Each structure stands twice: as C-alpha cells, then as structure tokens.
Amino acid sequence: MPAPTLAVDFGTSNTAAAILEGGAIRRLEIEPGAETLPTAVFFPARGDMRIGSDAARALIAGDEGRYMRALKSVLGTPLFHDPRLIAGRRRTLAEIVTAFLATLKQRAEAQTGHRFTRVLSGRPVHFHTSAPDRDQQAEADLRACYNAAGFDTVDFLFEPEAAAIASRETQGLGLIVDIGGGTSDFTVFRSGGGTEILASHGIRLGGTDFDHAISMDHAMPLLGLGGQLRRTLGEGLLPVPRGIYVDLSTWAMIPFLYARETERLVEDMVKHAVDPRALGRLATVITDQLGHDLAFTVEAGKIAANDGTARAAIDMAMIETGLAAPISRTSLNGALSASREPLTTAIRQTLFSACIDPMAVETVVLVGGSSLLSLVQDEARAACPAARLHRSEVFTAVVDGLALATA
C-alpha cells in the first residue's frame, strides 16, 4: 500500500505536519509531546544542527553557535542563495531550509513507518505583495528545498484555503482571517455539504512585522534609537542611524549583525553619542549576541500587553540590570496602528473579489497566532459587522486542512 501524502504547514514562526489515516486527520509529533515546533535552527560550534525547541533551548542555555528563525521570510530574495559563514562553513539559507525539511521528513517517517515521497505544502496567497516575479521565485525556492529534502512530488495549496477546508463545522458564508508570522491571508468560502472557495487574497504583513514595530517603538529607544551623535569634524549633531535597529528588530536579519564590521560601527557611535549609556547598551547586545534574546522578550511583552496584564513590560535585564520597557494594550495598539489600514483593505479586497456583501458574512474564522491580537479582531469585526468571530485551532487549522485535501 503506497504511503500517504505528507501535509506540511511550513510557517514563518511554527511548522506542523499531518497525514490522513482512515479518513481521519493524524497530526504528527515532530518533537515529543507537541503538534507544532518552532521554525528555528541552531548550528552549534561543534555537532549537528538542532531544530525547533531544541534550537531555542541551545540559545537560552548560551551554547556557542548560530540561532536562526523566520527563514521563510527570505524565500524569493537574493539573500536566500547568498552563502554566509555559519558555524565554521559557508552555507546558504536554501541549504538550511532543506536540512530543516529533511529532518522533518525523517521524524515523520520514524513516527509513522511510512517513506514519504509526496508532500502537500501550504503557502501564502502571496509570499511578496505586488511582486509576481519574486512571488514565483519564492515558490520555486521552496519547491527546490522540498525536492532536495527527498520529496519527489511537491504540491501547494493556499494556507487560508486549507484552513477553510478544515472549518467543516462552519455552516454558510465564512471568512478565514489567517495572520501568520510573515503574511496575512484571507479566504471567503461557503460551507455546507462541502467547502466552496469563493476568493482568496493576501499581503506580506504578519506577526514578525508586528514584533518589529513593537521593538522599534518600545525597546530600541532604550538602545539609542532617536538619539544624536556629535560630528567628528565641525559643529552640530547628527541623528543616530536607524539601519542597525531595523535589522536588530527583524528576526531574519539578526544573525547577520554578529560581525566585526557591525561591532566597529557601534563602537564609533558610542564614541560620538550624546547619550553614550544608551548606545553602550546597543554595543552590549551586539558583542554579547543578545539580539534573539531581545526579540523573544519583545514577543513575550506583546502577548502580555494583548492579554491585558497589569504593568506588562519588555524585560531587558539581560542587557542591563533592571532595564525594562513598559508596554500596555494602548501602547501596543499604538505601535501597530499602521497595520490597521492594510488589514482592513485586504479583507475588503477579498470580499470584493468574491462579490460578497460584508454584511452577508456569517462567521469570521481566526487562524494563526497573531489573529489573537485585539487589533486584528477589531478590524475583522469592523469589516464584517454581522459575523460572529470563531477561534479555530489557530496553530493547526492549516495543516488539518492540508491533510484533508490529500484525500
């Protein structure tokens, strides 16, 4: 009997795998006790690559090596094929994604006893907004990685359409709002005796972009963003350059800051800083390679503020004892205010493409971890005022639908 098709939701932040077994969805534990694993890798100075939670544990333990996350966000870009020195040898991100998928395949085979040669992978509606050539390249890049990982047949399905297939309990007219780590995707569907896809749309905006905005607004000013530098020659002041802070608050770019060139740049900034203490904190982050630690605490602060935790804060004590950036739901929404208009426009565009009156939508199904943000839910309610909000299995709805689609 041939092996089933492996369903894989390869996400910017998390990855899941499943198969259809006897007509039922079987989610696979790619790491013990978990149906999803972080899409992250760690290359130790010596030894084999680690993935998922093992990678995060190595980072937290302070092991010598290179941690990388949000690899999906660079698909379709030249950076994906640019060799970089990582853990003692030059590697491309394409090779790293291939190694991650090969490990995923090996673990799925060990758990099920099957040898998988076919995969149905989710993909966003658009990897890159308004850039069809780059979008096509991104799918080609991901397909090549699956092939190199050992899959002979690779098919793709839009992630929000997979989530719609998984929403079998939703009757009538529904809208999927799938806010992932790197993209926001939407599908209008009609359910009842099957699932009819009416329209899909997506934009390159997701949880990592939200983290970036929060970090730039709350954390980076404590590292000198917005400060001033004295001129080497002459009078007057210059603004502290933003570029290093942009990269430091972008998950995919953090590893590339750990270079002597960056250290020299920051050392020069400290020498000329009007506020050398703040720039000194930036120097600590770069020299001690604390960028990912900072990104994790920004993410934790976001979750706490969204949950309404009293006196929530972004804990930056790893940089300086007692250092923290207060964050509230109000300041969180302020930092993310620029995301409201693109989200609302994308929802309306999806409804327009489906020729559906917003008032006719009966259910909005929330998918993806960032769909739990109050900002996202507010915009979904405003766009479809007559609909009820339904929280799906936010982290596994896509892989569930992919598994069903393999039938």
Residue 319 has a pLDDT of: 97
For residues 349 and 318, what is the distance between their CA atoms, to the nearest angstrom? Answer: 44
Are 127 and 139 contacting, i.e. CB atoms less than 8 angstroms apart? yes
Give the model's pLDDT for residue 233: 75
Residues 158 and 289 in one domain: no
Q: Give the range of the structural domain holding residue 264, as residue numbers without chain letter.
A: 208-335
**372 within a domain of the structure (yes/no):** no
Of 319, 335, 351, the one marking the end of a domain is 335
What number is the average pLDDT over the span 274-288? 96
The pLDDT, as a whole number, for residue 287 is: 95
Total tally of structural domains belonging to the chain: 2
pLDDT at 89: 85
- Mean per-residue pLDDT, 320-331: 97
Residues 154 and 260 in one domain: no
Using a 10 angstrom Cβ sphere, with 0-12 exposed, 13-18 middle and 19 or more buried, the burial of residue 399 is: buried
Task: With a cut of 90, say whether residue 234 has pLDDT above it.
Answer: no
The percent of residues above 70 in pLDDT, for the chain, comes to: 100
pLDDT in tens, 344-356: 999 999 999 999 9
| Shared-domain flag, residues 39 and 151 | yes
Q: CB of 208 within 8 A of CB of 182?
A: yes
pLDDT at 393 over 90: no
Q: Assign residue 38 the CATH number of its domain.
A: 3.30.420.40
User: In this structure, is residue 99 part of a structural domain?
Assistant: yes
- H or E element: which one contains 91? strand 89-91
Q: Are residues 160 and 219 in the same domain?
A: no
> Do residues 14 and 137 both lie within one domain?
yes
Q: State both tokens at 335.
A: 């930092």
Together in a domain, 54 and 160 = yes
Question: Which among 124, 127, 107, 125 is positioned nearest to 116, based on CA atoms?
Answer: 107
Q: pLDDT-derived band of residue 249, with 50, 70 and 90 as boundaries?
A: very high
Give the residue among 226, 222, 123 at the shortest CA–CA distance from 180.
Answer: 123
pLDDT class for 84, splitting at 50, 70, 90? confident
pLDDT bracket for residue 391 (50, 70, 90): confident
Instruction: Say whether 338 sits in a helix, a strand or coil.
Output: helix
User: How high is the mean pLDDT of the chain?
Assistant: 95
Q: Is the pLDDT of residue 47 over 90?
A: no
- 365's CB contacts (< 8 A; 6+ apart) are 163, 164, 167, 170, 174, 175, 176, 177, 390, 392, 397
List pLDDT tens digits, range 150-197. Answer: 999 999 999 999 999 999 888 899 999 999 999 999 999 999 888 999
CA distance 322 to 318: 9
Say what the pLDDT of residue 1 is.
66
Q: Is there a single domain that holds both residue 153 and residue 213?
A: no
Could you give the residue ranges of the DSSP H alpha helices within 184-318? 207-214, 243-248, 260-272, 276-287, 291-306
Q: What angle do CA 25, 28, 29 make, to 5 degrees?
A: 145
Residue 232: its pLDDT value, please?
80
pLDDT above 90 covers a percentage of the chain that reads 88
Q: Would you say 319 and 306 are in contact if contact means Cβ atoms under 8 Å apart?
A: no
Q: Tell me whether residue 363 is in a domain.
A: no
| Mean local confidence (pLDDT), 8-19 | 97
Whether residue 307 lies inside any domain: the answer is yes
> Does the pLDDT value for residue 331 go beyond 70?
yes
Neighbours of 221 (CB within 10 A): 14
258 within some domain: yes
pLDDT attached to residue 87 = 79
Euclidean distance between CA atoms 203 and 301, whole angstroms: 25
Claim to verify: residue 61 and residue 152 sit in the same structural domain:
yes
Per-residue model confidence as pLDDT tens digits over 85-110: 887 888 999 999 999 999 999 999 99
Same domain, 266 and 150: no
Answer whether residue 36 shows pLDDT above 80. Answer: yes
d(CA 354, CA 332): 33
Asked, for residue 232, whether it belongs to a domain, the answer is yes
pLDDT band at 46 (very low <50, low <70, confident <90, very high): confident
